């Protein structure tokens, strides 16, 4: 009787490919780690040869220079950490304003290109072709040097109802001042978030049930009532300041410096041309039969656009729109050309020259831009999940 011993089972091709995949990935990680080790060792050797060292102790040193525009209190005796925070807030200010303005204008331009009115569609198309083929830096310089610098001096400023003034030193508007600005800012931010959530919930309820619900009034009430309630309960002192001319300049109120206005206008107009093209392409990606079906059941042009076309076009629009928002963030670094103290201009530029800590400052700047970019991407993904169409 012969007993046959089975051979060792052969490994499947799938198992071999998996092992080779892990092997290649391990070799890649090891190679990257080796390159990083050599680069860091070379960096420390070069720093030691020049008597330098890495560290962030300079952040607590006195900066010793003034900053023309800042959203948080600052004096020349403050440290570089405060300069870093001012650079972040100034960058966020122009980025958020430019994103909001370019989105609104871009949607209008994209829809106008599809208008049945020949004049409107051609004008929108000419706008896109002219604006997007000029460098963004040129837009900024034109708005700063040609448009805003041509405004009159403060004594001959353009008045808007004796409450706001336009001059070559900026736009002066009334302002609310309080002894607890942090509390006021936090309450406004919380009220804005709650108002958006309430508005979204009420509109979703109306679409789900078919009932008519006024979502604007409750959202606006929350937006106004919550900061007012926080001020009353905390006992904060609030005063209203109106700008008025004294001597050669205005005092009181809040001034929006020309650099902010020029930067936001230029970035909004430039990026709106790209967003307009994205909107046009995403709307055209929706099947024409969708619009014909909505017209057949009695929907008007606006109802078709709002309830039928845009919800489907958003799925195509959001990924490239996210990239355009990232371009707006990175394009804000061009503010250094007109002297606006953003993160690159006031921290990476001036602080490096005074401290010599180029590696630390560049690393911090890179970290900030990376964090803001990831935040923008996360918010776009969140909005995408909130507005997605659930298919059965």
Model pLDDT for residues 118-130, shown as the tens digit of each residue: 899 999 999 999 9
Q: Where does the pLDDT of residue 208 fall: very low under 50, low under 70, confident under 90, or very high at 90 and above?
A: confident
How many helices (H) and strands (E) are present in the chain, helices listed first? 12, 8
Measured in Å, how far apart are the chain's first and last C-alpha atoms?
Answer: 64
User: What mean pLDDT is predicted for residues 262-290?
Assistant: 90
Predicted local distance difference test score (pLDDT) of residue 258: 86
The closest alpha carbon to 212, from 222, 202, 201, 199, belongs to 202
Q: How far apart are CA 121 and CA 386, in angstroms?
A: 32
Joined together, the tokens standing for residue 133 give 């083929």
Predicted local distance difference test score (pLDDT) of residue 10: 56
Residue 241, pLDDT above cutoff 70: yes
User: What mean pLDDT is predicted for residues 192-202?
Assistant: 85
Going by their DSSP bridges, the two strands 254-256 and 170-173 should be labelled as antiparallel
Predicted local distance difference test score (pLDDT) of residue 388: 64
Which of the pair, 171 or 87, is modelled with greater confidence? 87
User: What mean pLDDT is predicted for residues 234-243?
Assistant: 79
User: What mean pLDDT is predicted for residues 52-60?
Assistant: 81
pTM as predicted: 0.80
The closest alpha carbon to 345, from 253, 259, 281, 232, belongs to 259
Q: Where does the pLDDT of residue 92 fall: very low under 50, low under 70, confident under 90, or very high at 90 and above?
A: very high
Q: Which of 108-117, 167-176, 186-195, 358-367 has the lowest mean pLDDT?
A: 167-176
Q: How far apart are CA 250 and CA 179, in angstroms?
A: 22
Predicted local distance difference test score (pLDDT) of residue 291: 76
The closest alpha carbon to 195, from 230, 225, 173, belongs to 225
Q: What confidence tens digit (pLDDT) does each residue in 4-29 have?
A: 555 555 556 667 778 888 888 889 99
For 46-70, what is the HEC assignment? HHHHCCCCCCCHHHHCECCCCCCCC
Predicted local distance difference test score (pLDDT) of residue 11: 55
What does the DSSP 8-state code read for residue 7? P
Joined together, the tokens standing for residue 152 give 């009159």
| 190: region left, alpha or beta (phi > 0 left; psi from -120 to 50 alpha) | alpha
Predicted local distance difference test score (pLDDT) of residue 30: 92
Joined together, the tokens standing for residue 265 give 């206008």
Q: Where does the pLDDT of residue 90 fall: very low under 50, low under 70, confident under 90, or very high at 90 and above?
A: very high
Predicted local distance difference test score (pLDDT) of residue 229: 86
Contact 384/363 with Cβ under 8 angstroms? Answer: no
Joined together, the tokens standing for residue 16 give 């071999």
Q: How far apart are CA 227 and CA 255, in angstroms?
A: 23
Q: How far apart are CA 124 and CA 100, in angstroms?
A: 19
User: What mean pLDDT is predicted for residues 234-252?
Assistant: 79
Residue 295, pLDDT above cutoff 80: no
Q: What confidence tens digit (pLDDT) does each residue in 355-380 have?
A: 888 888 998 999 999 999 999 988 88
- H or E segment to which residue 244 belongs: strand 244-246
């Amino acid at each position: 009787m012969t007993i046959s011993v089975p051979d060792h089972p052969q490994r499947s091709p799938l198992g071999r490919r998996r092992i080779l995949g892990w092997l290649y990935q391990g070799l890649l990680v090891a190679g990257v780690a080796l390159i990083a080790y050599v680069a860091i060792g070379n960096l420390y050797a070069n720093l030691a040869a020049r008597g330098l060292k890495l560290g962030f102790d300079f952040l607590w040193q006195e900066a010793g220079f003034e900053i023309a525009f800042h959203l948080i209190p600052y004096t020349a005796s403050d440290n570089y950490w405060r300069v870093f925070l001012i650079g972040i807030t100034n960058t966020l200010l122009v980025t958020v304003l430019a994103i909001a303005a370019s989105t609104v204008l871009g949607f209008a331009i994209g829809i106008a290109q599809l208008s049945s009115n020949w004049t409107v569609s051609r004008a929108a198309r000419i706008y896109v072709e002219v604006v997007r083929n000029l460098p963004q830096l040129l837009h900024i310089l034109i708005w700063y040097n040609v448009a805003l610098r041509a405004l009159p001096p403060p004594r001959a400023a353009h008045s808007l109802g004796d409450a706001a003034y336009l001059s070559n030193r900026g736009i002066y508007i009334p302002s609310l001042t309080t002894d607890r600005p942090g509390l006021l800012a936090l309450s406004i931010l919380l009220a804005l978030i709650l108002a958006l959530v309430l508005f979204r919930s009420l509109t979703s309820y109306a679409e789900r049930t078919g009932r008519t619900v006024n979502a604007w009034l409750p959202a606006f009430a929350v937006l106004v009532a919550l900061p007012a309630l926080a001020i009353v309960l905390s006992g904060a002192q609030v005063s209203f300041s109106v700008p008025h001319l004294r001597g050669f300049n205005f005092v009181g109120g809040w001034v929006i410096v020309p650099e902010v206005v020029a930067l936001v206008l230029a970035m909004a107009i430039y990026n709106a041309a790209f967003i307009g093209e994205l909107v046009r392409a995403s709307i055209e990606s929706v099947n024409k039969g969708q619009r014909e079906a909505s017209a057949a059941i009695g929907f008007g042009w606006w109802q078709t656009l709002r309830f039928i076309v845009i919800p489907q076009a958003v799925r195509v629009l959001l990924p490239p729109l996210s990239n355009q928002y990232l371009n707006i963030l990175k394009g804000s670094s061009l503010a250094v050309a007109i002297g606006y103290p953003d993160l690159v201009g006031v921290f990476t530029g001036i602080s490096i020259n005074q401290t010599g800590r180029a590696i630390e400052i560049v690393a911090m700047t890179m970290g900030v831009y990376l964090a803001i970019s990831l935040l923008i991407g996360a918010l776009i993904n969140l909005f995408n999940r909130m507005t997605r169409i659930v298919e059965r």
